[in-house]
Amino acid sequence: MHRILTARLRLIFMRFKNTFHFIFLFTFFSGLLLPFLSRAQEDNLIRKTIRKFLSSETDSTRAGSLIVLPAVGYAQESGLEYGLAGTYNFYLDKADMNSRTSNITLIGTLTTKQQKNIKLLTDIWTKNNDYHILSELRYRDWPFNFYGLGSDTWLADEDFLEQQLVRAKIDVEKKVAPNLYAGVNANFEHFKFEDREPGGIFDRPDVIGQTGGRYLALGVSTLFDTRNNTTYTTAGMYARLKYAYAPGFWGGDNFSGSQWEADIRSFWKLSRPLTLAGQVLYRGTFGKDVPFYTYRDLGGDMSMRGYYLGRYKDKNYATAQAELRYRFMPRFGVVGFAGTGGTFSEKHDLRLVPSFGAGIRYFFSLEHNSTIRFDYAFGEQRPGEKRQSGFYLSISEAF
């Protein structure tokens, strides 16, 4: 599903600078309680746990599903990280068998170095699927690595930045014809940056907006959607075009310009358990003296897996990827994927880089076909560097 349209947890392990992330599923913590229960209570708890998480039976009540994952991690730059993340899937109209799954995701983590990351995502389909409403509220006080602009950056130039981000966005789309939606959107973002290592690549004059900035973008969108399921699609098509314009309300290094996004996906059921999925994605930012914080990032857990998000950064980003999905049991499946993409602008040529890997799927809700995915991906190996790669533990599919 679309990166904004789906509610998902992204807990990522990437091989960068002694950074280690460990995710402990709540079943582990449940296991710690077993010694304190009576034999009968223990047997009953085990049976209920197996039935809830391994049974192939669906719930005829079309009830909602909730999953919560505690998160524990450590990184040299942030210290010990701890928090919770969860998602709730539900139908606004249980009586309508064509009603699409809505979901709400809340993620909150803190660190021993006083860093914070709080995010609330919603993806709502109203009665008769007449309206599709998306929203995001986020506050992030978190460091990140900057490698420069363009697709020819190097690990040796890594520059460590402190970042504060406030984001509020909403998309509202109305059905105007069968499978066709049209809507409006608004997105406000406010950034602050501090360079911990002055004199590095971040100090270059072509990096505009080094102290931060803000903007409010207002736009329109159109969506053509024939997917048979929005969480684990096996047939149909998804095509969304989005445009937004940010007026120059604040001047200075605050962004003023246009943003475009085109996202096209197709799904083919090759057999009952086997699905071929493909996606072509483009994102672009246009304007005079565009600040770097509005540039498009390659990498992450949704597209071009295997790359640190922002390792390659430019005004435009294009990618194509495909997945072969095999659901060999109601609760389990496997996936192989491959893709290519790159960033580019008038100053930096497009350089396509590879992405490939495989993963495992666990369906924690059969009613909503909601998944937890475990992916391992590889990227390119630049001369003199280790091959880029990453492990991803996320809720819901990449697309």
Ranges of each domain in the chain? 10-395
pLDDT at 25: 39
- Read off the pLDDT of each residue in 198-214 and give the average, rounded to a whole number: 94
Q: Which helix (H) or strand (E) holds 381?
A: none
- Read off the pLDDT of each residue in 269-274 and give the average, rounded to a whole number: 95
Q: How confident is the model at residue 393 (pLDDT cuts 50, 70, 90)?
A: confident
Cα Rg of the chain, angstroms: 22
pLDDT at 3: 36
- Taking 60 as the threshold, does the pLDDT of residue 193 lie above it? yes
pLDDT at 20: 38
Segments in the chain forming alpha helices (H):
26-33, 39-54
Q: How confident is the model at residue 69 (pLDDT cuts 50, 70, 90)?
A: confident
Q: How confident is the model at residue 56 (pLDDT cuts 50, 70, 90)?
A: confident
- Read off the pLDDT of each residue in 262-278 and give the average, rounded to a whole number: 97
- Taking 90 as the threshold, does the pLDDT of residue 75 lie above it? no
- 394 versus 22: which is more confidently predicted? 394
Q: With b meaning 16 or more CB within 10 Å and e meaning fewer, what string describes 245-274?
A: ebeeeeeebbbbbebebebbbbbeeeeeee
Amino acid at 174: K
% of the chain residues with pLDDT over 90: 74
- Taking 80 as the threshold, does the pLDDT of residue 51 lie above it? no
- Taking 70 as the threshold, does the pLDDT of residue 1 lie above it? no
Distance CA 17, CA 76 (A): 8
Amino acid at 220: V
pLDDT at 129: 97
Distance CA 173, CA 179 (A): 12
Q: How confident is the model at residue 5 (pLDDT cuts 50, 70, 90)?
A: very low
- Taking 60 as the threshold, does the pLDDT of residue 203 lie above it? yes
| Predicted structure pTM score | 0.85
- Read off the pLDDT of each residue in 193-212 and give the average, rounded to a whole number: 93
Assign domain 10-395 to its CATH architecture.
Beta Barrel (2.40)
Bridge pairing between strands 236-246 and 257-269: antiparallel
Distance of CA 239 to the CA centre of its chain: 18
- Read off the pLDDT of each residue in 82-107 and give the average, rounded to a whole number: 93
pLDDT at 35: 53
**Contact at 8 Å (CB) between 396 and 369?**
no
pLDDT at 296: 98
pLDDT at 119: 95
Bridge partners (DSSP) listed for residue 21: 73
- 12 versus 116: which is more confidently predicted? 116
- Taking 80 as the threshold, does the pLDDT of residue 93 lie above it? yes
Query: What is the pLDDT of the chain when averaged over all its residues?
Result: 88
pLDDT at 6: 35
pLDDT in tens, 238-252: 999 999 999 999 988
- Read off the pLDDT of each residue in 37-52 and give the average, rounded to a whole number: 64
Neighbours of 346 (CB within 10 A): 8
Amino acid at 146: F
- Taking 60 as the threshold, does the pLDDT of residue 199 lie above it? yes
- Taking 60 as the threshold, does the pLDDT of residue 16 lie above it? no
- Taking 80 as the threshold, does the pLDDT of residue 59 lie above it? no
pLDDT at 157: 95
Please say whether the dihedral angle defined by the alpha carbons of residues 269, 320, 100 and 119, taken in this order, is positive or negative.
Answer: positive
Least confident of 15-19, 45-49, 138-142, 176-180: 15-19
pLDDT in tens, 312-349: 999 999 999 999 999 999 999 999 999 999 999 999 99
pLDDT in tens, 125-166: 999 999 999 999 999 998 999 999 999 999 999 999 999 999
